[in-house]
Amino acid sequence: MIRTRCILCAGALVLLLVCLAAIPPVAAAERIVAPTGAEFVSIQDAIDWSSAGDTIRVRSGFYMENVRITKRLTVIGVDSGSGIPVISPNNKDPAVVILADGCTFDSFSVQGNDQATGIRVSSGNNTVRGNTVRGNAQGIFLASSMKNTLSGNVISSNNKAGLTLEASGENTIENNVVEKNTVGITLDEYSLSNTIARNNFQNTQNVVSKSPTSVWYSSIPYTYVYLGTNQKSRMGNFWSDYLGKDANGDGIGDSVYVISIGANKKAVHESDQNIVDSYPLMDPKDYYTKVTPSIDDPTKPQPGILPTFVVPAKTTQQPAPVKTQEPVPAPPSENPPEAPPALVFGYPLFVAGGAAILLVVLIAGAVLLLKRRAARNLPEDGADEPPVPADDGPHVVTKAKSALRNAVEKTRSLVTVPSLRTVLADTDPDEAPKPSVTDQKNYFPRELENKYTNITFVGRGGIAWVFSALRKSDGIKVAVKIPISFDEVTGKCFLNEIAAWETLRHENIVEVTAVNILPVPYVEMEFVPNSLEALEKPLPVWKAVHIITGVVEGLHYAHTHGFIHRDIKPHNILLTGDMVPKITDWGMSKVLAADVKKSSVAGFSLSYAAPEQVSPSEFGRTGERTDLYQLGVVFYELVTGSIPFGGESIVEVGNSILRDAPIPPSEYNPDAEAVEKIILRCLEKDPANRFQSAAELLDALRGYLDEDDE
C-alpha cells in the first residue's frame, strides 16, 4: 500500500510539473497613476500593488510623497498635458529610492527636497533616464550600486552635489547635463571602473574624485558632426573650467583635463596619481550632432592618452556581431517523414489529462480546506455571531478597502497644477513665468490650426508671438510669428518686417518660408533651435571668429541686396545644431536702394547701438558701417564676456558710447590679442575709421584664420 501511494504521489508530481510547464507566463500588468480619474492617485500605492515586471505610468501632477521601488518595475512619467509629473516630498528622506535590481525610472521631475537626496539607487542593473533632478541636497546618489545606467538626465541646482557615487562600480554615466550644483560629481575610492562620458559639467566645482580606475571618456570612438564638419573620435565630457585649445577643429581638446587625486607629481602608486579626461569636449554636448558609435571594431586599439593604471569600465555599447556563413539547408524531400503519432497527439492528450487530474485534486483540497476553516470559525453555544476571519494573512477585500481609504486620504495632500506647464517642467524660478498651455493656445490663431500641429510657445518678440510647430503638409518643424495685436500700427510694422525679410536667401540669414495676411497675418520661417545670447561667454577666440565670420557673410549678402539690419545683437543671431549662425528679426532693417520695398521702422538696442544711432547730428546717418559697429560689440562680448560700454542709466550708457574708449579686449582675455585690432576698428566712433564694408571685414577675419592655420 505504501509503495502504491509513493508511485501515485510521484505520478501526480510529474503531472503537476508538466502542466505548469505548459501554462504560458502571465503577461505583465500596467498601472495608471494620476491625481484624478485613474486606478491610483499615489505612486507608492501603485508600486505596492504591482508585481515584478509590471509597468507603472504616472500622468502629469504634483506628488508630495516619498517613493520606494522594492521590486523590478518600470516606472514612467507621462506628460498628459501639464508637463512631466513632479515628485516633491520636501522632507528629510530621499524623494525616490530604488532598492530592487533591473528597474527603470524615466521622465520625472524630482525637486525641492533640499534636505535630502532626489534619487537614491542602492541596487544594480537599473536605468535612470530622462529625469530632471533639481533643488535637492544631492541630485542622484549611487550607494553600493553596480552596473546602473544614468542617461539623459538634467541634474541642476542641488546644494551639495549633482552626482555622488559611494562604493559603486561599473556604472555608465553618459549624456547628462550636470549644472549649477555646488559640486558636479563626486566619487569615493571604492567606486571603481565607472564610465563617465559625453556629459556637460558646468558647476561651481565640477569634480571631486578618489577613484583611480574610473574612465572619463567613451571606450569606443563615435562619428559626429561638429561645426558643420564630419568628425570621428572618442568623446569625453564638457568641463566649464577646461582651458585647452582645439587645433584641428574636431571639437576635442588638444590637452587633457586633469581630474586631481594625488598631489605628488612624481607619484608611483596608482592611488597617488591623477587621472584625466583624454578627450575633453570643447563645447557642451548639444553642439555635437548626429552622434553614433563608430562602425569600426571597438576591440582594436584606439589612439589617445591612456594612463597605464586605468582599467576601462564596461560599456553598454556592444560590438557588432560577427557575420558567419549560415549552413545551406538541405533541399526538401519529396516524401517528408511523417511525425510520430505520439508527438502529434500524445503530448496534448497527456497535458490535458494531467491538467484534469490536477484540477480534481485542487478542487477536493479546496473543499476540504473550506470545511475545516468553517468548522474552526463556528460560534460557540449556537450564538448567532458572525464568524471571525482566520488569522492566516490579510484578506483581499480588507486590503482593497484599506488601499482605497489610504488613497482618499492621500488625495487631500496632493497638489495638482493641471495647466501650468512651466511650473511642472521645472523652469528657473528666477525667470519670468511663461503663459500657461491654455493661454498659449489662445495666442495661436485657431484659423491656422489646420496648417500646423505640435504647436509650442517659444517666446515673444517686439511685435509678435513666436511658436514652433510641425507643418501638416510635410511634417517639417518651422517657426511661426503671429502679431501680438491686430491694430493698424502693429499690422503696418509687421508687414514692413515681412517686406524687408522675405527676399533674403542666404545660409546665414533665417529664411522666411511662407507669408500671408489671410486667414490672419503670420510669417512662417525655418526653425533654428539656439541663439548666441544663450551661450556662456567668453568663448574661445577661434570659435568666436567662426561665428562672427558667418554673420559677416550674411550681412555682406544683405548689404549687396540693399538692406542693412541696424539691430545686430546676440538675441538676433540664432545658431543651428552645427553652430551655423543665422541672422533673424529684420524688422529694423532699412532699404538702401530706392527700387526695393520700403521699410522705415526705426529702433535699436542701446547696449549695442552705434554712435550714429545715439547722436545722428554728430555722427551722421546709419548705414552698412552701423551693422559692422554693432557686430564689433558682439565680437567684443564673445571674447571678453563683457560689453564695451555700460552705465547705470540710459544717459550714462549713451555718453559712454559717444565719448569713452573701450578697454582693450586682451585685458580681459589675453588670447583676444590676436583679434583685438579687428574688434577695435569695428568700434571706432567715426564711421570713416571703421571697416568700410562687410567684404573688407571678411578679408581681415580670413587673415586671422590664415595666420592661425600656420
The full set of domain ranges for the chain reads: 30-293, 434-526, 530-709
Q: Residues 414, 415, 419, 422: what is their CA dihedral angle, to the nearest 10 degrees?
A: -120
Once rounded to an integer, what is the mean pLDDT over residues 355-381? 47
Q: How far apart are CA 175 and CA 194, in angstroms?
A: 14
Contacts of 447 (CB under 8 A, 6+ apart): 519, 520
Sheet holding 183-187, edge to edge: 67-69, 96-98, 117-121, 138-143, 161-166, 183-187, 205-209
Once rounded to an integer, what is the mean pLDDT over residues 211-234? 92
The fourth-level CATH superfamily of domain 434-526 is: Phosphorylase Kinase; domain 1 (3.30.200.20)
Give pLDDT, residue 463: 64
Sheet holding 477-483, edge to edge: 452-460, 464-471, 477-483, 522-526, 512-516
Indicate the average pLDDT of the chain: 76
Once rounded to an integer, what is the mean pLDDT over residues 251-270? 68
CATH assignment of 30-293, among 3.30.43.10, 2.160.20.10, 2.60.120.10, 3.40.50.620 = 2.160.20.10
Give pLDDT, residue 207: 93
SS3 257: strand
Apex 217 CA angle, 215 and 218, nearest 5: 105
Give pLDDT, residue 444: 79
Q: Of 47-51, 242-246, 411-415, 513-517, which gets the smallest average pLDDT?
A: 411-415
> The whole model's pTM is what?
0.51
CB 28 within 8 Å of CB 360: no
Once rounded to an integer, what is the mean pLDDT over residues 650-677? 92
The secondary element (H helix, E strand) that includes residue 327 is none
SS3 530: strand
Give pLDDT, residue 348: 46
Give pLDDT, residue 180: 93
Q: Say whether pLDDT at 266 is over 90.
A: no
CATH assignment of 530-709, among 3.40.225.10, 1.10.510.10, 2.170.120.40, 3.10.450.50 = 1.10.510.10
Q: Say whether pLDDT at 109 is over 90.
A: yes
Least Cα distance to 68 among 107, 125, 119, 138 occurs for 119
CB 219 within 8 Å of CB 313: yes
pLDDT class of 414 with cuts at 50, 70, 90? very low
Give pLDDT, residue 577: 83
Beta strand extents in 417-463 (DSSP E only):
452-460
